[in-house]
């Protein structure tokens, strides 16, 4: 069973453990294939981590993204961010077990592939406002009604 659609998936801080395989189609279009790994590890209150399952994302990057993968994922050990179109394929492995493959296609237009940087290039607008002394109000207060105010008088219809 194959499922596909125009679902966009955003992988942030996914790990690539081997070099991208870069090829060219018979019409001269460049593409790169590689696998990204992600997991749902959680930090527990005692400071230790609980390891969640590892997810494998089979990625095909086209055009400029393939060039980028060729240059930046050559050594294979990288943390990446990506945005692409998500598809799911079911298959039977060598042992006869049914498995599911998660595939992401990063098209030349509309997709994103970049190395993950743990520190943003510049502070976010929220961080800048906090640095300038801004503190959001913690309590939202309802406006107080004046004596004699009636909700019915405020209704426009």
Radius of gyration of the chain (CA): 24
Q: How far is CA 73 from CA 90, 101, 110, 123, 135, in A?
A: 27, 22, 20, 27, 42
Tokens 């109000």 belong to residue: 137
The answer, as to whether pTM is greater than 0.85, is no
The residue among 25, 22, 37 whose CA lies nearest residue 69 is 22
For residue 67, what are its two tokens?
Answer: 């060039």
- The two structure tokens encoding residue 71: 């240059």
| Structural domain spans, the chain | 2-139
Per-residue model confidence as pLDDT tens digits over 58-105: 999 999 999 999 888 877 677 888 888 888 889 899 999 998 888 989
Name the CATH architecture for the domain at 2-139: Beta Barrel (2.40)
End-to-end CA distance of the chain: 54
Q: What is the pLDDT of residues 35-48, one digit of tens each?
A: 988 887 788 899 88
């Amino acid at each position: 069973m194959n499922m596909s659609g125009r679902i966009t998936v955003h992988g942030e801080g996914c790990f690539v453990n081997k070099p991208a395989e870069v090829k060219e189609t018979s019409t001269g279009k460049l593409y790169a294939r590689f696998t990204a790994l992600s997991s749902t590890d959680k930090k527990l209150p005692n400071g230790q981590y609980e390891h969640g399952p590892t997810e494998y994302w089979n990625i095909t990057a086209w055009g400029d993204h393939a060039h980028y993968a060729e240059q930046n994922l050559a050594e294979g050990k990288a943390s990446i961010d990506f945005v692409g179109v998500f598809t799911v394929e079911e298959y039977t492995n060598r042992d006869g077990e049914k498995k599911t493959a998660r595939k992401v296609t990063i098209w030349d237009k509309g997709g994103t592939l970049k190395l993950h940087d743990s520190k943003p290039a510049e502070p976010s607008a929220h961080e800048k406002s906090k640095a300038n002394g801004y503190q959001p109000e913690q309590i939202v207060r309802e406006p107080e009604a004046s004596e004699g105010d009636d909700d019915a008088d405020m209704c426009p219809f």
